[in-house]
Each structure stands twice: as structure tokens, then as C-alpha cells.
Structure 1
């Protein structure tokens, strides 16, 4: 069975707003209209209702009635209206910003193959894993970020208010200052004079990043830098590979040929090194190479992954192997996130403690001379 995927690239350009990082951010934003958590519930409930024998229209009506927000109820009702007017589910969600290109093609394939029920189940599992990954990442980074921000604000407060107060005392009593105290006072002066410009520069950097984040050169070089970052680079690589194996598991479960699955997935992960590798793998497969032979040439794929895919090529068990790979990578991501958290926390505390201690020492050293002068 062949699938018409030749328009994937053009359709992807039409929906260029699709970005995996953007979706993950929406997932944790308070009050998001249709977050990944809601999508997880939508597809799991849709699978359960379809499995119970309800028609697609009736299942969506029930799901719509359960929505607490009026906006979400209206969204589901619009989809039901489209179904009544003769549209397929995939066609109905195609132009709705709440849904991604990935969901459109997955549901479309489910409709073409008569496996919409199974595709709904796999989409629910797909978003469940993404939500779990996001929770793991947030759990690993939340405490270090809170500590970092608190300490950073404390340092700014000291430079802005405490250090100038000591500087006035030293100046009035004409105390000879140690070298380290002079450097801290200079830093305080620079912060007071140029602090506004520094904040302005940070805002410019953030805005520039938003403007260029979809540029190929930006994605390329940021990916290279992140991959070379200790701990973080390997963690991000595994997260992206896990997303890839999840997608292939879903598509192979819907009986999509592997080559078509790669074509469909390569533009939807949002990770430059993986996109480039998949593009070359697609070409290699068309030239007659097996999947494991092609993947073995790219460092982004683990040797164990290549070995398991070799077994899949020989036994034609792609769905089973990719499902197992997804489970393995999710387990590794959970373990590595805990390791990163336990490593980063004391490291941040140590550095920030050293900075605060340096400021305090720099302020108290002249106090000894000052006490001598007063006595």
C-alpha cells in the first residue's frame, strides 16, 4: 500500500509555526488553550470510546461536553460540525492551529488504513511520553533554577545597595582598600552605571533569538554547541532520539512503510542533526541500503540502536523493536535527568556561595583597618 507523502514538505512550510520546542513550552504555560496534557486526554478518551463501539462523531460529542473551557468545547464542536458536513477528522484539524502537522498526517494515515482507533491510542501514548519527559526535565532543573535566581538577585542586591554603603564608610574614613575590595567596588559602580544597558542588551539577545531560531544556520550551530556541552548535550540527544523512535513506533503501528515514516518524521522533530541524518538515510534507502547500514554512518545514533534495528531489518519486526527502543530511551532519560539534577545543584550552590563569600570578604577586610583607625 502506497501513501501520498509528496506534499509533506509544502504542507510543512504552510505550517512552519510547528516547532517541537514551542509545543513543549506551551505544555507548561499556565492557561494554555490546548496543551499536550489535554491532547493526551483527548486521544486516550477517543480510543476508549471508539473501542467501546461509539461512532467518531458521538465520541467527539462526549469529549466536547467534558471540556471545562468554553474555547476547548467550541474547538471540539467545530470538528463535529466538520464531520457532519462530510469532512474527515484529519481534514478538520488540518487548518486548526491547536493541532500539529504530525497529528494531521497520523490521523490521515489512520483513516486511509482503517486503523484510526489504534492511531488514537498511539497518539495518546505519544503525548503521554512527551508529558512525562517534560515533567522529568522540569523536575531536574526547577530546584537549580530557583537557587540560581535567588542567589543572583542576592548578589545584585549586594552590589546595588550593600557595597555602595560600605564604599561611603571607607571613603569617609580614608581607609586604604585591599585589591579585592577595589575590584568589587568597581563592579558595583559598573552595575549602577550600566545596569539598565545590560538589561536592554539581554532583551535584544532574547528578541534576536526569537527572530532567528528557525534559521538553518542558527539551528546548526546551537545544536553543535549543545551536543558538546557535558551532560546536557547527551541528554538532549537522547530526548530527540526518543521522540524519533516514538514517532516511528506510531507510524509503523499504523502499517505505514518505514521509508514513508522517515519522510514523515524528519521534518517534525525540530532538531537539525537528526533532520540531516534522516534526510541522508532516506537517500541511502532509496539507493538500496538497509536502515541499519545507513544509520551506522551517523554518530547521533547509538551502536546499540543500530544493532537492534539490524535485528528489525532481518526479522521484519520494526514496530516491536522501535517500541522497545522508545522504552529504553525513556528509562535512560529519567535516570540521566536525576543525575543531571544531583550534579548541577551542588555545582551551582558552590559557585554562587564562592561569589557571595568573595563579596563579603572584600567588604570585611577593610573593616579591620577601619576599627584600628577608630581606636
Structure 2
């Protein structure tokens, strides 16, 4: 691998340049084309320190960097000064990355091209928003938008984890209770009932039968659980398996509605961010589809993208998929009709940012009582199965 100092042109004819690592000029040309740049000239720059493209930033770390750049650029301080400050305060494992970015920008390259060298730290959507800010001269505003986007993502993940934690705790508690009751509690009473010689009622016979099965077939039960968990993990690693699991989750009551709402919210949020920043609609649809977690909604968005590429309005394209709510379709249609699609997508972004927490809270409010009722039914059913034969034994003795 060698380093090349290059000059390139954007799709709009603007000039840009920088220093990048590539195997040869042909590889350099292919690399720049992925960023919608056209190579004009290139010359070897000589050997430099090796670029570690695997350097990554967590969402929290990326938010700190973005906040810093938004604040410094918003205050009118130069970009190089802002980047050099990042180098001075960077963690050791990230300092080489920021040093490379500073070198690229100081050499006349675009910041977006420099950020693209580190895809694990700055994903493609982030880079495209920065590139749009460079093209329009509003780089500080775009970093402010990206900071809001990252804050939203972090807060949404926190809310989802919080919403999942309590039901998951209840499920674990129910499973532990079932194991405890049927393997330790019921076996203590079963010999007493058998010695008493009373005719056991149906609930008791069912509970005793389940207890005997769990005691005698526990290797089969453990094996089935391991195979089931392993099967889900393997399915998640395969495209077809992820698609199947996603459709199963979307078909579940309440949980499916929440998953669909989260997917539409993510699409509205990212599409609004990219299009408002100045990224072309087709490119914005591509980038949004690339980061949507739901395979079903990713396919729906890519299908909509193909329809838009053929000349159909976006509102018609999303309606044809059958996956997007009518409110989202109407908002897009109004934006297209008035020529203010960017403003409409921004409003959709704000709407879903406020709506998703309400949907999470509503779904949690439904699931928690159901899980508690299920837990109570298990405890009550086992208690009834134990006390019914004891009551009959007391009648016989009496």
C-alpha cells in the first residue's frame, strides 16, 4: 500500500483533494468513485505511518467529538484549530486517527474524505452529512444536526433497554419459579398424596405429572433450551434467518407494533436528517436503508428507492410497500405537493422523536400487567393443586 496526493472533482464540478492510502492509481480511482468523486490527478506521496482503519468510536465518543466540532465551528473558530484540539485531547488509541484527519485537511483535502478513511468511527451517513455541510458552507450547522441525531439515538436505546429490562426480569423470575416449584416443592408433597390413597383431582395430577417429567427428563429439557437459543443465534447470523425472525417479531401483538414504530421512526429520523442536510433523495434512501435494523423495513425502503429512481413520487413509493403508516405517507405527500419535502421530513423526524417514547411507555403498560397475571396464575395454580388433595385428606380423616 502507498499514499497518493490527489486532486478530484465532485459531481457538481467542485475541486477537492487530499492524501489517501491505496494499492495503486486504479484502486485510488475506484475508492474515490465510492465517494462520488472523479479523480483528476494523483502522485505518490511516499510512505507514511500506517493507517489503522479499524479504529472505532462508540456513540458516546462520537457524540463528544461532534459536540466539540459543532461548538467550536459555531463560535467562528477555524476547522484546523478544532481538529488540532481533538488531537491534543484524544485517547492514545484514537490519536493517530485524528492526526491523520488533521494532515488530510491541512493538505487541502475535504474533511468528509478524511473521515471516510475510518468507517468504524464515522459511518457513511455521518460522512455524507459532513460532505453536504462542506458543499453548502454550513459545516457547523450540520455538526449540530449530527449531535442532535446522536443524542436521540443514545436516548432511544436507553429507553428501549429500560422498557425491556423489567419484562425480561419478570420472564426470568417466572422461569426460575417454575423450575423451583416443579423440581423441589411439588416432589415434597407427591409422596404424601400417594400414601394417603385419595383420588387426586385433575389439577394435582397435571402438576405431579409435570414435576415427574421435569425430574426425569431434565437433560432433554436443558438440551432443547440450548438448541433453541443456539438456533436463534445462528438464524440472526444469516440473512434469511434475520428476515424470518423479524417477520415473526412484527407479527406478535404489541411487540410487533412497537418494532414497526421504532423502524418507521428510525427511517423518518435519518431520512429527514440526510435530506435536510442536502443529500440527494436517492442517496439518502440508500444510506437510510443501510442502517435500518429491521430487514423487512430495509427491503421496503429499497423497493421504494427503486420506484423513486423510476420517477415515482416518494409518497407513492412508500405507500406501495404497505409498511408505512398513513400519517407518514400523508406528510411526505404534502411535502412533495408544496415543494417543501425537506421541511416535511424534518417535521416527521420531530413527530416520531416525541411519539416513540409514548409508544414504548404504552406497550410497557400493557405487557407488565399481563406478565404479572401470568406469574400469579402459575403460583395460584400450583397452590390450588397442592391444597385440593390436602382438603380431601382432611375430609377423609374427619
Q: TM-score range by the shorter chain?
A: 0.7 to 0.9
Instruction: Report what 2:273 is aligned to.
Output: 250
**Whose helix fraction is larger, Structure 1's or Structure 2's?**
1
Question: What is the DSSP-based 3-state SS (H/G/I as helix, E as strand, rest coil) of the residue aligned with 1:349?
Answer: helix
**Whose strand fraction is larger, Structure 1's or Structure 2's?**
2
Count of paired positions: 346
Map 1:247-326 to 2 at 5 A.
247-326=270-349
Q: Which of 348, 352, 361 is the aligned partner of 2:384? A: 361
Q: Deviations over 1:45-85 (max 9, x none)?
A: 32112222344454355456667xxxxx1243122221243
Q: Deviations over 1:298-354 (max 9, x none)?
A: 221222222221222233322211111011122221222111111111111112211
Q: Distance in 2 between matches of 1:208 and 1:105?
A: 37
Q: Which of 360, 366, 373 is the aligned partner of 1:350? A: 373
Map 1:1-375 to 2 at 5 A.
2=11, 7=34, 34-60=57-83, 62-63=85-86, 73-86=91-104, 88=111, 90-92=113-115, 94-95=117-118, 97-111=120-134, 114-372=137-395
Q: Distance in 2 between matches of 1:169 and 1:65?
A: 76
For structure 1, list consecutive stretches of 5 or more residues without a partner in the other structure.
9-32, 68-72
Cα distance change on mapping 1:289 and 1:91 into 2, 3 Å: same
| RMSD (Å), alpha carbons | 2.9
Higher relative contact order (CA 8 A, sep 6+): 1
In our comparison, the structure showing a higher alpha carbon Rg is: 2
Q: Distance in 2 between matches of 1:321 and 1:213?
A: 35
Instruction: Report what 1:26 is aligned to.
Output: none
Give 1:110 deviation, angstroms. Answer: 4.1
For structure 2, list consecutive stretches of 5 or more residues without a partner in the other structure.
1-9, 13-30, 36-55, 106-110
Q: Distance in 2 between matches of 1:239 and 1:316?
A: 27
**TM-score after normalising by structure 2:** 0.77
**TM-score after normalising by structure 1:** 0.81
Cα distance change on mapping 1:292 and 1:372 into 2, 3 Å: closer
